[in-house]
Structures are given as structure tokens and as C-alpha cells.
Amino acid sequence: MPSKEDSPLREANLPLLEHHSLTDERDELDQKLLPRFWIESKKLWHIVGPSIFSRIASYSMLVITQAFAGRLGDLELAAISIAHNVVVGFDFGLLLGMASALETLCGQAFGAKKYYMLGVYLQRSWIVLFICCILLLPLYLFASPVLKLLGQPDDLAELTGTVSMWLIPVHFAFAFQFPLQRFLQCQLKTAPIAWVSLVALLVHVFVIWLFVLKLEFGVIGAAVTINISWWVFTLGLFGYSVWGGCPQTWAGFSVEAFSGLWEFVKLSAASGVMLCLESWYYKVLVVMTGNLENAEIAVDALSICMTINTLEMMIPLAFLAATGVRVANELGAGNGKGAKFATIVSVVTSVIIGLFFSMLILILHDKIGYIFSNSKSVLDEVNNLSLLLAFTILLNSVQPVLSGVAVGSGWQSYVAYINLGCYYIIGLPLGILMGWVFKLGVMGIWAGMIFGGTATQTLILSIITLRCDWEKEAESAKLRMTKWTNPKHELN
């Protein structure tokens, strides 16, 4: 035993021993953190990778269609572009947003091991979105008179109206495909989505070559091709889900799908409004720019920047889907800390990617325009807008991830109000003020809408996420599952 004389030395060494112990604990925590980060990253990229691929494949179908339509003539190109971007684009955003309600419900049900309910939720989503498609049919049926009312030339409005009528089948494909994607993503069955999207893209390339170039069906042939490729995508996912791909979660069609529809409608509507307010915001930017004096160059430059931004946005949007699924899975399993960690990993990873592309834009600021144009005036304007483009890309590396957290947690209705306030009450007026009152043109409009709208919304969502009580959210998910689940079908 140590003597009394040793005690002062022993006491003097105690803080050193305690400090050493704390250091060991921190080292051990750091060692645990890296494997945890790696494991969570693998789960995240298991969803992100195929989601990026399928989104790029879908976007490529639009680009290919426009390229073939451009060979037919300027009028045909304009008609396809307006029909796809305005008419189809409107309900695409709405139905895609409404389908994201499944990320909350299916994600939490899968985490809670209530597998049977995933199939029921899928069928409820089909019912709700199909009814919504019927209600949106006038958008397609009366596209021509509406476009004339908005001041479009008669020949363009007539042809766009005809193309829109031929695109009604793809309108109904959305009602089935979007829920199927979320149904599979929530179970981490993402590889089939990527493979089916690849098949759909290959079919699209072949059929549009056949219909437009060989059989010379013209712009109608291009529209029909879109229907075929999207239904190939839809039926491929349906076949996989129903015929053996999801034995735990698909137990056949059920009358339970018709119960609890009103609650499902409310959550779907909130999801739709939340995401539509975001997607329409940047379309408003292009429309506002078109009202400037001598707007042709500004619109061309802004369109180039928005095309680059849209391509890069495929990555953050994939993170939105992945974050929603991972957060919902963890909350459904009652693991609030796991949901918090999934959020951190997703934000960090997305920001790193956003920084990379932002720096790339800044380095190549005077060269990126050459991909799309040789006009010196347009290239100069793109160069002037490159700083805003870089900042937009960086900001968009955070904002969709936080929206994914909201979807996974079931906060859609709250975020819808936040989006409405930030985008249309703050951002839009600020863009108008800077663009017209301060005469800063397209840079003023874009800067006002980015700093006033997107940055404000991102800040608010960041504060909400940082202050979130994740254990309380896990309890809320448990209550939601109890409320929405038929007890006789619970699978533990």
C-alpha cells in the first residue's frame, strides 16, 4: 500500500490520470464515430446512387425528346417544350410531392416492422393520386385556349394543345409510378428502380428514333414516345413489386386501402404543396426575367444557368429522398438518435458535394456557357451570373436534405407554410424590388429570390432541425403507426 508520504504525489497526479482517461474516451468515441459514419454512408448511398441514376435517366428522356423535336422545326420544339415543362411540369411537381407522403408512412412502418401496411399505404396513394389526376385533366384538355389567353401565338397554342392531349397517358402514369418508387425506396430496394429506368431510357431512344425519324410521325410521335417509355418504367416497377419482389410488404390488393383515405389525403396534400412551392419558385424566376426590357440575352443566359443547376440538383434531390427514408426508418424503429445521426451524415455528405460543384463553377466561370452557346453576349451574361449559380448550388446542397428530414418526420404541413412565407412573401417581392426598382436586372431578381427566399427557408429549417427533440419525434412516429395500422396485421 502507498505510504502517507506518497499521497500528495498521488493526489497531484489524479488530474493527470483523469485527463488521460477523458482523452482515452474521446479517442474511443472518435474510433467509433468513423465506422458509424461509414455504415450510415453506405445505407445512404444505397438509396442516393440509384436515385441519381433514375432521375438522370428520366431527365434524359426529356432532353432526347426535345432534341428530336428540334429536328422537326422551331414550332414543334416550342410545342413539346411548353407541353412538357408547363402542362406536364405542373402536375408532375404536384403528384411527385403528394407521393412523398409515402416516404413518411412507408418509411416509418418499415422501421417499425409493420411490413403489411406498406402495401396498404401504396394502394391508398394510388387511389388518392388517381383521383387527383382526374381532377387535373382540364389542364390537358384546355391547354390550347389557356395558352391563347396568356398571349401565346395561335399556331403554337394549337399545336401545344394537341401535344398535351396526346400526353394524357403519361399524366396517369405518374399516379402509379411515383408511389411505387417511394414504396421500394423505403424498403431499400433501389437497384430495381435503377435497372428499370435504364430499360425505359433505352426503349425511349429506340422508339423515338423509330417514330420520328423512320416512320415520320412528327411531333405526335415524340409525344407518344414519352407515354411508352414512362409506362414501361411504371409497369416494370409494378411487376417487380407485385410478382415476388416484395414478399414481406405486398400481400395483394386489399379493401383496407379505402379506409383512412381522408387522413392520407391531408398528408399527401401537405407534401404536394410543400414540394410544389419549391419547384415552382425557380420557374417564376424565368418568367419574371422574360418581362425585363431586352430580355432575350438575359433569358438565354438564365436558361443555361438553370439547366446546369437542374442537372446538379439531381444529386441533392436524391439526398432528399434518401434522407427522408433513413430518418423515417430510424424514427419508425424508435431510434431518435439514429435519425439524428442519419441527418448529420446526409447534410455533411451533400455539403461536401455541393462545395465541389460550386468551386468547379467558380473555376470555370468563363467557360461553362460554351456547352450551350457561342454568342459572346450570352457567354458574358453567363459569366456574370456564375457567382450566383455557384451560391445557388451550394445552398441547394443543404436545403433539399432538410426537406428530406421534414418528409421523414412528417412535418410537411409546417414546411408548406414556411415555404409559402419565405418564397412568395419574402423572396418574390425582394426579387421584384432588386430587379426593377433598383434596376439590377436578372442578377437582382435572382439574388433577391435566392437570399430572400431560399436562404431564409434554409436558415429556418436548420434551426428547426437543430432544436428538434428526436426522442419525441420517435414517440410521435410510434403514435402515428399505432393510429394508422390495423392491429391484426402487425408483423413483429
pLDDT for 120 beyond 80 = yes
Pair (245, 288) in one structural domain? no
Instruction: Provide the domain count of the chain.
Output: 2
DSSP string, 241-310: IIIII-TTT-----GGGGSSHHHHHHHHHHHHHHHHHHHHHHHHHHHHHTTSTTHHHHHHHHHHHHHHHH
Q: Is residue 492 part of a domain?
A: no
**3-state SS, residue 136:** coil
Pair (234, 289) in one structural domain? no
Res 286: pLDDT: 66
Q: Is residue 179 part of a domain?
A: yes
pLDDT digits (tens, 9 = 90+) for 2-22: 444 444 434 444 343 344 443
**CA distance to 143, 212, 295, 298, 392, per residue, from 290 (Å):** 21, 31, 6, 8, 20
Domain boundary, last residue among 236, 259, 282: 259
Extract the C-alpha cell encoding 297: 440575352
Average pLDDT over residues 121-135: 94
Domain boundary, last residue among 197, 227, 259: 259
End-to-end C-alpha distance for the chain, whole angstroms: 56
Quote the crossing angle between the two packed helices 336-363 and 376-395, to the nearest 10°.
Answer: 160
pLDDT digits (tens, 9 = 90+) for 8-60: 434 444 343 344 443 444 444 455 888 889 999 999 999 999 999 998 888 88
Average pLDDT, the chain: 85
Q: Is residue 348 part of a domain?
A: yes
**Does 369 or 357 have the greater pLDDT score?**
357
Q: Is residue 306 part of a domain?
A: yes
Pair (84, 195) in one structural domain? yes
Question: Using an 8 Å Cβ cutoff, are 412 and 458 in contact?
Answer: no
Q: Is residue 459 part of a domain?
A: yes
Pair (229, 84) in one structural domain? yes
Distance CA 265, CA 124 (A): 9
pLDDT for 95 beyond 60 = yes
Pair (246, 198) in one structural domain? yes
Please tell me the chain's helix, strand, coil percentages from 3-state DSSP, rounded to the nearest 5: 85, 0, 15
Q: Which stretches of 320-406 are assigned E, i.e. beta strand? A: none
Q: Could you tell me what percent of the chain has a pLDDT over 90?
A: 46
Pair (112, 255) in one structural domain? yes
Res 368: pLDDT: 86
Pair (240, 299) in one structural domain? no
Pair (288, 388) in one structural domain? yes
Pair (120, 148) in one structural domain? yes
Pair (62, 111) in one structural domain? yes
Res 4: pLDDT: 42
pTM of structure: 0.83
When pLDDT is cut at 50, 70 and 90, the band that residue 243 belongs to is: very high
**Secondary structure letter of residue 376 according to DSSP:** H
Pair (219, 285) in one structural domain? no
Domain boundary, last residue among 259, 292, 309: 259
When pLDDT is cut at 50, 70 and 90, the band that residue 329 belongs to is: very high
Distance CA 409, CA 358 (A): 29
Pair (282, 222) in one structural domain? no
Q: Is residue 39 part of a domain?
A: no
Q: Is residue 415 part of a domain?
A: yes
Distance CA 450, CA 388 (A): 8
Which structural domain range is residue 311 located in?
273-485
